Amino acid sequence: MMHIRLKKLRRIMAIVLIDIVLVVCMLFTAAFIHIHAVQNNDVDNPMFTDGDLKIIMIDVGQGDSFLFLQKDKAMLVDAGPLYRMNDCQNALKQYGVRKLDYIILTHYHQDHAAGLYSVLANTRVEKILVTDMSTNSQTIEDDTFYKIFYKYMNTVDLLTSRDLVKLAKVDGEFEDFYFSDSYVHFLAPVDDKYDIVNNYSLCFKMTYGDVDIMMTGDIQSEVEEQILESGENISCEIYKAAHHGSKTSNTKEFVSRVNPQFVLISSANGERNNFGHPVKQFVDSLEERGVTVFRTDEMGTIEMYTDGQKIYYYPKKIGDYKSGKEIIQWGKNTLRDLLREFGGGLKYKKDDVMEFEELNECKLCPRNCKVNRNNNGIGFCKAGKNVKIALASLHYFEEPCISGEKGSGTVFFTGCNLKCVFCQNYKVSQEYQGEEIEDLSKVFLDLQQKGANNINLVTGFMFVPHIVEGIKDARKNGLKIPIVYNSSGYESVETLKMLDGIVDVYLPDLKYYDDSLGFTLSNVNNYFEVATAAIKEMYRQVGAPKFNDETGLIEKGLIIRHLVLPNQIENSKKVLKWIKENIDKEVYVSVMAQYFPTFKAKENDEYKLNRKLTQEEYDEIEQYVFDLDLNGYIQDLEDDEEKYVPNF
């Protein structure tokens, strides 16, 4: 998302939030004379023979799963995340794997381990190799998924017939082994005392003929340095990027010593990838080295094979996956039940569910429905007694001062008091997708732990009492980042007063100057009057924006958004002029050009909204903003506006 930031002296600075990295997979001849890489485009008639070693990087979204096949042997390294827990098992079926000779679970995090539930329930497994964390009880105690893993396995009796081996060093060395004609040599963990589970990852080098492959799990720079100091020969042709290409791993010195010909990166695109994997700096460094990069987020499942001298590769589609919601019930308890018990899922629990008196006769928004939500009453917004959210994740497409590099911790609440015919979030606002939760404070704290710059509350007016309580609880337990209140603008001043001292940054829309337009497009007949009064109250509370001098992130203040609609340029001009004449000139505006036809506006000509903005419309508004000498942002006009809509 590109914005142009406006300055008083009309200096224009283009700010790019997200650099889109396009990695072109090129045919590359390795520095080693005896290794040749060949792209095989004939997927139906591969050059693979029974004795070759096949390596499949299975597209499991934001997680890891790799399948190795040679002769009659099969080995699985990790099995993918919970939300795509059946993908790995589907791949095994597609490759005709009925028995796994080995499973190597690099470490216990769910994005590597959750898919094992499906695999172990449906596939014969001879031996499971797992990392030994027993020497560090504190790390185990702190890791929720470690506890879930063992409790669930014991509950459904999935381990009793398996040879479960906790890998530990014997006389200072791991016990290496042969997988068919390939030799597996373990490189890490080097130590038996780490503070984080990632560093316990089983890292190994597999050798077949003249070809070496390194699997790294999620090791971080600390372990990479230990491997370098060990003096091991770690050069290899195929390198699985550590920790999905994270900034915590793949140091320049380590990758240089590996000197790979191919790098495999397993990650997701879209909302599931909350960490921005792989980081741009790492990808750019590979491109500079002339390395061929394969990424599941761009190419799907990748299949490679080698005869010990040549390496062949091609992308391969695995069949449609079933979502994590379609979980087979094994034994008495489902995985979802256990995740809820341990707080691992979206269903956050709290012992005492509070009733708020404001819900007895709800007047939290200007609709004044006066329904008793504590007694199952449902008003215009469709909100009930309990908080319902559709998504809580890091979001990278807000204004630069909000998203920054780490992302904004965005919570999308279910429901709305407007009925916008062009709503880009209609699945949440008007189709009411979402899940009830009972403890908002845990949601906020989880987002902070993931590195969020702030907590971004999207359309939360109907749950303001819950939000206030949740923020207070979270602050008692360590929440320190700013609170952003992201609003349609159609807010009650009295409800906003409940947020005084709670919210740091207000981010309201000012959609319409003309009330007849508001009625036609959003089913509201007093939008301008209500929204402008609300914005003045927001300004009273937080004032003009204040930014962190080092990061450029907003810490407090008001930013007023306006989405420019096609055929409604005069409406936009009137809105912007009102801001200029009625609000402090230091307040920022954010003029958005990301409109695209969706929901009811997509097919219905009567709204005159079934097209995107033209360049002429955009240019006219841009010039008008400059003429008014406003501070803030102008979003660049782009061709792929749909990317800004979260995947609910």
Spatial neighbors of 575 by CB under 8 A, at least 6 apart, are 510, 511, 512, 513, 562
Within 450-506, residue ranges assigned H as helices are 464-476, 493-497
pLDDT reported for residue 47:
52
In terms of Cβ atoms closer than 10 Å to its own Cβ (0-12, 13-18, 19+), residue 446 is: middle
Q: Give the mean model confidence (pLDDT) for residues 480-505.
A: 97
State yes or no: pLDDT of 48 exceeds 80: no
Integer Cα distance of 637 and 500 in angstroms: 35
Task: For 426-438, write each residue's pLDDT tens digit.
Answer: 889 998 888 998 8
Question: Could you give the percent of the chain with pLDDT greater than 70?
Answer: 77
Task: For 315-358, write each residue's pLDDT tens digit.
Answer: 544 333 222 222 222 233 333 443 343 333 333 334 344 578 89
State yes or no: pLDDT of 246 exceeds 80: yes
Q: Is the dihedral of CA 628, 632, 638, 641 positive or negative?
A: negative
Q: Give the mean model confidence (pLDDT) for residues 163-186.
A: 72
State yes or no: pLDDT of 297 exceeds 50: yes
Integer Cα distance of 6 and 625 in angstroms: 9
Task: For 584-633, write each residue's pLDDT tens digit.
Answer: 989 999 999 989 888 888 877 777 898 999 999 999 999 999 999 999 99
Please tell me the pTM assigned to this model: 0.51
pLDDT reported for residue 164:
56
Q: 542 and 504 in contact (C-beta within 8 Å)?
A: yes
pLDDT reported for residue 520:
92
pLDDT reported for residue 35:
41
pLDDT reported for residue 5:
45
Integer Cα distance of 401 and 589 in angstroms: 12
In terms of Cβ atoms closer than 10 Å to its own Cβ (0-12, 13-18, 19+), residue 360 is: middle
Judged by average pLDDT, the poorest of 94-98, 333-337, 364-368, 559-563 is 333-337
pLDDT reported for residue 173:
62
pLDDT reported for residue 438:
83
pLDDT reported for residue 156:
40
Q: Give the mean model confidence (pLDDT) for residues 247-270.
A: 91
Q: Domains plus CATH for the chain?
A: 33-315 (3.60.15.10), 376-644 (3.20.20.70)
pLDDT reported for residue 86:
82
- Region of 300 on the Ramachandran plot (φ > 0 left; ψ -120 to 50 alpha; else beta): left
Which residue from 564, 561, 569 is spatially nearest to 587, judged by alpha carbons? 561
DSSP codes joined into one string, 124-174: EEEEEEEE--TT-HHHHHH-HHHHHHHHHHHHTT-STTSEEEEE--BTTB-
Partner residues linked to 70 by β-bridges: 73
State yes or no: pLDDT of 137 exceeds 90: no
Integer Cα distance of 214 and 129 in angstroms: 17
State yes or no: pLDDT of 81 exceeds 80: yes
Mean confidence (pLDDT) of the chain: 80
Distances (CA, A) of 512 to 335, 414, 515, 598, 599: 47, 23, 7, 19, 19
Predicted confidence band of residue 397 (pLDDT cuts 50, 70, 90): confident
